[in-house]
Amino acid sequence: MSHSVFGKILVRQLLLAYRRPAAVLNPLFFFGVVVLLMPLGLGPKQTVLAEFAPGLLWITALLAALLSAEMLFRSDYDDGGLEQLVVSDDSLYLASLGYIVAHWCLTGLPLALFSPVFGQLLALPAEGYLALATSLALGTFVLSAFGCVGASLTVALRRGGMLLSLLLLPLEVPVLILGAGVVERAINGMPIDSLLSILAGLALLAAALTPVAIGTSIKISLEV
Amino acid sequence: MAWTWFHRLGSSPWVYRFSGTLLRFLLPLAIAMIVLGCIWGIAFTPPDFRQGNSYRIIYIHVPVSVVSLAGYYVMAVAGAVSLIWRLKVADMAMRVAAPIGAVLTFLALLTGAVWGKPTWGTFWVWDARITSMVVLLFLYLGVFALYEAFDNKTLASKACAILSLVGTVNIPIIYKSVDWWYSLHQPASIKFTGESTIDPSMLYPLLWMIVAVYLLYACLLLLGLRVTLLESEAKTAWARKVVMEVK
């Protein structure tokens, strides 16, 4: 696997993150500090928090994915790494997929794994834990894919932050609705298979199509 | 041969002249149709047995909603054409389509709110379809903002083309959302298959208005296109000549 450009990019991104562990923890810290704000803003009543927990956790995940997306291509753009990638005869499609999967491994996956802890803090009923983790794992992949699209479109701009949210949040609305819906349904004891399937479908669709958009946008941003 | 029209689209003076001829017919037609359609809808249709006269805003609300959704496709297709064939006119059409679409979407939301007050008792409900229209508004604004953020306008239009193509993924979800979530909003009344739940005496003026707003959209698009053409070719002889003649 590590012979293809997909594996190379993936391993490289993970290695870069491993060498700067604080950066890996940032999304988790961000998630934690936003969760801390919720009871401060809404009041500490367990029943109130439990009612809003699915939506709050999902919105927080959305913001975490959004904020981490901005710097995705920045250093590779600045040091010419992206240019080398484009002029090499490696597939830009596979490379883009590598960036998406790496971003997901570093933001979405940890959030999904630690989500029961945050669920506990917001008094999420126990039935919702598995649904929250599964929906986050699937949904954040879509968020990473869209994040890469947005980052590749705005990498040539110096002040992309606000713009990136305006571009990405409307596209991510269906993921939020489905993701929070899954948790909501699980808490109410309803079957969640159908909604999870739709989320998984969106993730596959994103994996198949967004690398095309990302590859093209990288080329556009580099003016080649 | 049959494809020569396509190559002519590459010539700015030709597009400018042709759109001028087209507008000479289209613009009066669109305005006349909208005026007649409004009179028809306000004065010559029966009041709704439950909503009384307040439903008449449907003759504005539904057409602008329909065209604002279709406008996104116009923008995305124009973007795709400009990416694939590097056609400058398509590129400008995409750029012009974004603000027009945003205004139409805003009008759809505004008329919906005005209609919502007497019928639902509130200006705003977080219903799936309304929310989808807000999303559409932000998709339009995103394209607009991305274009403005670039200094290099060639890059800007390419990036916008990509963004609008990615955004098209959301349009089917907007349509589907009506079926996905049950809420206050009534289910779609016009069905292309099967019986409509709207009486023909109300349906015909509605269809008339939809056609009228489509025509108006085409006119606005062409008008915007002509201005953009003149702006971007301000240094060429033909553009100078056109502007001098108008003066």
Per-residue pLDDT band at A2 (split at 50, 70, 90): low
CB contact under 8 A, B170 and A171: yes
Beta bridge partners of B48: B52
d(CA B72, CA B61): 17
**B-chain residues near A212 (CB < 8 A):** none
Contact A52, A58 (CB under 8 A): no
Give SS3 for A150: helix
- At residue B48, what are phi and psi to the nearest 5 degrees? -70, 140
Contact B212, B30 (CB under 8 A): yes
CA distance A21 to chain B (A): 33
Specify the pLDDT at position A210.
93
CA distance B110 to chain A (A): 19
Q: Which of B79, B54, B81, B97 is nearest to B221 (CA)?
A: B97
Whether B180 has a pLDDT exceeding 90, the answer reads no
Contact B13, B188 (CB under 8 A): no
Specify the pLDDT at position B192.
47
- Comparing A71-80, A107-116, A158-167, B13-22, the range with the smallest average pLDDT is A158-167
Q: How far is CA A59 from CA A34, A53, A117, A163, A170, in A?
A: 10, 10, 16, 18, 13
Predicted-assembly ipTM surpassing the 0.90 threshold = no
The whole-model pTM stands at 0.86
Mean pLDDT, range A147-157, rounded to an integer: 92
Give SS3 for A31: helix
Specify the pLDDT at position B214.
95
Q: Can you list the alpha helix ranges (DSSP code H) found in B150-199?
A: 153-167, 170-180
Q: What is the chain A residue with the closest CA to B150?
A: A157
Mutating which of B146, B153, B183 best tests the A interface, going by the most A Cβ atoms within 10 A?
B146
Contact B59, B38 (CB under 8 A): yes
pLDDT 10s digits, B42-69: 888 887 777 777 788 888 999 999 999 8
**A-chain residues near B159 (CB < 8 A):** 153, 217, 220-221
Which range, A24-38, B110-124, B162-176, B208-222, has the best average confidence (pLDDT)? Answer: B208-222
Whether A82 has a pLDDT exceeding 50, the answer reads yes
d(CA B69, CA B176): 13
Specify the pLDDT at position B36.
93
CB contact under 8 A, B159 and A174: no
CA distance A145 to chain B (A): 11
**Averaged confidence pLDDT in chain A:** 89
Mean pLDDT, range B27-32, rounded to an integer: 93
